[in-house]
Amino acid sequence: MNTETDSKCRLCQQFDDTIDHIISACTILAKEQYMKRHDRVCAQLHFNICKETGVQLDKKHWYEHVPKSVETSQGGKVTILWNQQVQTDRTISNSKPDIIIRDNEKGTCMLIDVAIQETEM
Ligand SMILES: [Zn+2]
């Protein structure tokens, strides 16, 4: 249309404004938006785990769900921990998984740590 367009990202102005750049590589978005996305993915996962294990939920939809630090299923068979520190014998840099599902009858835990894959720039 005979106009000059700048192909650079409008936020960082460093790299081309491609889909890959916007969804995972922009330094401006990385500061906050990618963390928010990670937290929303975890919240949806938490909501579904609560539903599957029989935890009473306040909200009907996952997008309204605000995870609590500790949830217990009806009857107490399962405890679900959100963003809680795990005590370990040695110092471990990341000892705070996103979600822990504890089976109180078996005495076992499942640790879930969510990572959103980044594409290359
Ligand atoms: Zn950018």
Apex 51 CA angle, 46 and 57, nearest 5 = 85
pLDDT in tens, 9-31: 999 999 999 998 888 888 888 88
pLDDT in tens, 67-104: 999 999 999 999 999 999 988 888 888 789 999 999 99
Amino acid at position 39, single letter: D
CA of 45 to the centre of ligand 1 (A): 28
CA of 121 to the centre of ligand 1 (A): 10
CA of 25 to the centre of ligand 1 (A): 7
CA of 9 to the centre of ligand 1 (A): 5
**C-alpha dihedral over 93, 99, 105, 107, to 10 degrees?**
-10
Question: At 2, is the pLDDT very low, low, confident or very high (cuts 50, 70, 90)?
Answer: low
DSSP label of 97: -
CA of 21 to the centre of ligand 1 (A): 6
